[in-house]
Amino acid sequence: MSKLDDVYSKLTIKTGAKLALVVLDGLGDIATAAQGNLTPLEAAKTPNLDALVRSGCAQGRLTPVAPGITPGSGPGHLGLFGYDPLEFEVGRGVIETLGLGIERKNGDVAARANFCTLDDKGIVTDRRAGRIATEVCERLCGLLSAKIKKLGTTQVIIVPGKEHRFVVVFRGAGLEGPLTDTDPNREGLPIAAAQPVDAKNAKQKKVAKLIADFYKAALPLLAKEKPANGFLMRGIAHQPDIPTFEQRYQLKAAAIAVYPMYKGLSQLVGMTKIEGPQTIREQFERYVAEYENYDYFFIHYKYTDKAGEDGNFAAKVKAIEDFDAALPVLLARKPDVLVITGDHSTPCALKGHSWHPQPVLLHSASCGNDKLERFTETGANLGSLGVMEAKYLIRHMQANAKMFDKFGA
């Protein structure tokens, strides 16, 4: 924990205030001539959001990680949750397991894996086994899972992904990463042995042994398969402990998300996962229903990002308008502090995540009024929050919730 985090912790007081963070995934965008020089937020009709802005909001822009850096969903959300993404790096294997809906436990070691093709001498001839169909991958993972549930006292969890990809989680006491890949990174070589990155680390050595045992048990089960008669493992790492949201902020937090990745990210920091709602309207209804049970609500909406990734401007506008149409459900039981933002930008013109700071809107009884008419990127440039690192957002939310004592006399 940084010195500043420590200062915040010491100033924190419990107030019973209700805080809500609504993440429109990939919300930020850029204006291009091809789209009439408007961003989707600018082009969308958002009467409810507009009314909220005019009632008094603070706006600004959030740098997800650091200037120029394009974040994945992991760092994007950790930042919004107040965890410096440069301090709390989440392993690639862990993110994959989250994306596949596997609950994570402290101490798990996870690895990404690919099915591959081996010749009769054990040489890798195709690192992706001809990109086998997802159904084949599911069948093969089922085959392995049925036979390999434990290695010694360590639990082994095998979960299929898309095409040739799957994830292996080792769960038990005394495990630690990172280890080197078993993937030789090019064809014409045999499968490599996973080696402890720190040769003196007994926990890493234990994992090296586990992986060797896993190969010993698994390869015979695949021997007659074509083309996927082998597999390669990468990114073998454990997830370092992350202090929970409640420890860090004294806020009991709930996540109302639809997609496994975002449920998983919220669980990384110890939020309670609320299952059921599928639409943003249902998510807001559930927020109202759970209002008394939690202090902090993380509500995740995926469709802005999806449209951005597809480069579909009209769909992104529509996603924003759908959100706006549902917004009154949430506003009917207004939290003390409401934030609406993205986890990063996903500009339609770039068809992917980007580094552009996402716009952020904060509404509370004490946020002041930036006197803007709407919530847009160019408007947010003028707001009182300025351009700040996303990790500070939670601090503004806490301040607006009157959760901080005065610093110094």
Q: With CA atoms as reference, report the closest residue to 98 among 159, 26, 180, 141.
A: 159
Please state, in angstroms and as integers, the Cα–Cα distance from residue 338 to each residue in 17, 18, 257, 295, following that order: 11, 9, 17, 12
Query: Are the C-beta atoms of residues 134 and 187 closer than 8 Å to each other?
Result: no
Residue 398 is a binding residue for a copy of itself (CB under 8 A): yes
Choice between 75 and 160, CB closer to a copy of itself: 75
Choice between 133 and 382, CB closer to a copy of itself: 382
> What is the total count of residues that contact a copy of itself (CB under 8 A)?
70
Q: Which helix (H) or strand (E) holds 151?
A: strand 150-151
- Give the C-alpha separation, 29 to 96, whole Å: 26
- When binding is defined by CB under 8 A, the residue of 73, 154, 346, 358 that contacts a copy of itself is 73
13-72 residues in contact with a copy of itself (CB under 8 A) are 29-33, 37, 39, 55-56, 61, 65-72
- When binding is defined by CB under 8 A, the residue of 47, 122, 152, 386 that contacts a copy of itself is 386
Choice between 29 and 126, CB closer to a copy of itself: 29
Q: How far is the CB of 225 from a copy of itself (least distance, A)?
A: 28
Q: How far is the CB of 354 from a copy of itself (least distance, A)?
A: 7
Query: Are the C-beta atoms of residues 388 and 395 closer than 8 Å to each other?
Result: no
Tokens of 179: 């280890």
- When binding is defined by CB under 8 A, the residue of 19, 317, 348, 350 that contacts a copy of itself is 350
Angle between helices 202-222 and 134-147 (to 10 degrees): 110
Choice between 66 and 288, CB closer to a copy of itself: 66
Residue 125 is a binding residue for a copy of itself (CB under 8 A): no
Q: What is the dihedral of CA 271, 277, 282, 287, to 10 degrees?
A: -20
- Give the C-alpha separation, 151 to 367, whole Å: 55
Give the footprint of a copy of itself on this chain (CB under 8 A): 3-4, 7-8, 11, 29-33, 37, 39, 55-56, 61, 65-75, 85-86, 89-90, 92, 95-96, 99, 347, 349-350, 353-357, 366-371, 377-378, 381-388, 392, 395-399, 404-409
